[in-house]
Amino acid sequence: MKVTITDIAKAAGVAKSTVSKVLNDSPRISEDTKQRVREIMKEMNYTPSSIATGLARQSSQTVALLVDMSKESEFLNQYFYNIIGGIESVIGTRKYELTIANIQHNHPEGHFLQRLVLNKRVDGLIANTSVLSEALCEELHRLRFPYISVGEIQAPGSWVDFDNRSGGKMLTAHLLAQGYASVAFVGGMDGEAIREQRYAGYRKALEQAGRPLNEAWVHCGEAHEEEGYRAAMMLLQSGRPPEAIVCINNYIAYGVLKAAGELGVRIPQELGIATFDDYPLARYMTPPLTSLNIDTFRLGVAAGKLLMEQLGNPETPAKHLLLKPELIVRESSTRR
Amino acid sequence: MKVTITDIAKAAGVAKSTVSKVLNDSPRISEDTKQRVREIMKEMNYTPSSIATGLARQSSQTVALLVDMSKESEFLNQYFYNIIGGIESVIGTRKYELTIANIQHNHPEGHFLQRLVLNKRVDGLIANTSVLSEALCEELHRLRFPYISVGEIQAPGSWVDFDNRSGGKMLTAHLLAQGYASVAFVGGMDGEAIREQRYAGYRKALEQAGRPLNEAWVHCGEAHEEEGYRAAMMLLQSGRPPEAIVCINNYIAYGVLKAAGELGVRIPQELGIATFDDYPLARYMTPPLTSLNIDTFRLGVAAGKLLMEQLGNPETPAKHLLLKPELIVRESSTRR
DNA sequence: TTGTAAGCGTTATCAC
DNA sequence: GTGATAACGCTTACAA
């Protein structure tokens, strides 16, 4: 049933090595025999075994996307599909395959290193920061194993990320430009990288607009509905409520919206709202929310490209890429 | 730098084959030498090459999840992460890897067959029905290549799916039980498999409750917001509006909600709403929507298990699995 | 219980 | 241009 290179060689009356050269379109083979051998391959329905090729070439033509499935509602979660699509779109055309590897099995630490890297099962790695500890990066770097981080890292190595800082600036500046005199910032844990970046952008926008930073208008907390609700309740019932709020994600925004509704605060007239992330709720809220869309397909593409570069030439220096988010203006922030 | 089985053999003063047997924990090797060889493996930091193993064993210890990334907002899209997680959780513990393969490259037709199957790159396949044409199934079956479909298929082969029929029944019966005298069914294209199944459940529930089927209360169309809005407008402004509506997904429900809002129809007092799918909107609508949650992690687990069975014993007969959805009752359907 | 040697299906290095 | 032949790193009869 299965036909190998040897079968083709016999059928064509040539040597295995010749067939191999035809396979790889070597210039030292005459067009004549190429034609002939290729026809026979068609006829006999031959497909080279990639495992054998891999062994001979010492490469698997496979890259892995590392994830930690045990962490719920991670950044990757909602955008997973698009990131994968992006990666796939660039590696696929270069004849690489993508394997998804979950770190968090009950395996001993560093197991995926064995399972994939030392194993020679994959030629390169893409992982986001939640998975890539500093120690891991060092180890990979030491092994000279190609990897790309999705999300900024300090360790050596390339990464791609969204420009959260400029995102924070965009949302805040937009609200100010709409005539909201004061803007609050709600959600995210103090010290968390993404939150810090987004918050820094918020501060920058205030500064550029010559507005003071009011600590009372900055609220930290887990990025979910209840926290958004609580924060908005506090802010809106305080002596000096802000005129607008930047929310760190859709769920916080939902909570804020709910609080505003209960307090009878009209949006966008009395309170402007703008949120990070366009998915999954922003467009479907009442009123629809102004949001900052990040195109994670492009993120995947960028990561894939960097990795391909690296695999093509291991000497390629590390690169860092910041993608710009896109502001989507909707009713929640258009005061008119 | 890289250490192979030969190095270990030399260092341990035994034959390659002995090392191999230790690797595979063969019972015909003395505990003594096992210990010794294992220690050396540790010391020398040895990890067997899975490619070489694959070649020798004629298997890759890899299964593929086939998707068509070109189709936007496919069923898989939102639940992708969980399905992958489910698959991974069962194959991972059995030392299999998962690779994601995109069908729709500008490659010639049937290319993935070459790329993965004939290639020997993967040992088995999981794909959903949108990807698995009847012809493809026949071909895989002919090749005796193990595959599992996510979604019911007619072709030979195992599949796992959600019980959309009983889902339709659950939603409809729930609304009737809440005292809504009449229930409409909105969304989905006539003839589309999922829609037909869900609709059949709706009809069954009416029948069991002794209610007549009113064709005027059944609306077909693409499953998005605008269509839901249009349908609800028609239904609610007709001479005989239904008291409740079953929506085929969250977006249809959103459109219905919008229409009701504009017409001043109060929910759940004057109109009950229940929708298929709990994600991404149901919980965050105003009011929160009663929905039918499907646990796609379990779907992935089921698919993974069937495939593992198949790989373990190719003679395993095809199996068909229907998972029950879960009704989540929220405000939109509780009349009290 | 361990060792020898022949695969597994390619590629790569030389000769010719 | 083409063909032997030795890798690639592991498994698996079959011997010893």
B32 vs A324: CA distance, rounded Å:
61
Residue closest to B269 by CA, chosen among B171, B149, B180, B160: B180
* Chain C nucleotides with an atom closer than 7 Å to a protein C-beta: 1-13
Per-residue model confidence as pLDDT tens digits over A116-126: 888 899 999 99
Distance B60 CA to C4 C1' (A): 27
Per-residue model confidence as pLDDT tens digits over A90-107: 999 999 999 999 987 545
pLDDT score, position A130: 85
pLDDT band at A2 (very low <50, low <70, confident <90, very high): confident
pLDDT score, position B34: 95
Which of B102-116, B121-135, B299-313 shows the lowest per-residue confidence on average (mean pLDDT)?
B102-116
* Residues lining strand D, beta carbon within 7 angstroms: A 13-18, 21, 26, 28-30, 32-33, 52, 55-56, 58; B 2, 4-6, 16-17, 20-21, 23-24, 48-49, 52-53, 55-57
Over chain B, what is the mean pLDDT? 93
pLDDT band at B1 (very low <50, low <70, confident <90, very high): low
A329 vs B128: CA distance, rounded Å:
36
Mean pLDDT of A152-174: 96
Task: Report CA-CA distances (Å) from A96 to A74, A124, A211, B107, B212.
Answer: 27, 10, 51, 14, 57
For an interface test with A, give the residue of B100, B123, B275 to mutate (most A CBs within 10 A): B100
pLDDT for B110 beyond 70: no
Residue closest to B168 by CA, chosen among B327, B335, B332: B327
Query: Chain A partners of B84 at a C-beta cutoff of 8 Å?
Result: 69, 80, 100
Mean pLDDT of B43-65: 96
Which of A175-179, B77-81, B171-175, B313-317 shows the lowest per-residue confidence on average (mean pLDDT)?
B77-81
Residue B261: its H or E element: helix B250-263
pLDDT score, position B107: 58
Mean pLDDT of B38-47: 95
Q: What percentage of residues in chain A have a pLDDT greater than 90?
A: 85
Residue recorded with tokens 């699509």:
A85
Per-residue model confidence as pLDDT tens digits over A235-251: 999 999 999 999 999 99
Residue closest to B158 by CA, chosen among B320, B11, B324: B320
Distance B330 CA to C15 C1' (A): 80
Write out the two tokens for A131: 């998975």
pLDDT band at B112 (very low <50, low <70, confident <90, very high): confident
Which of A111-125, B119-133, B137-151 shows the lowest per-residue confidence on average (mean pLDDT)?
A111-125
pLDDT for B310 beyond 90: yes
**pTM for the model:** 0.94
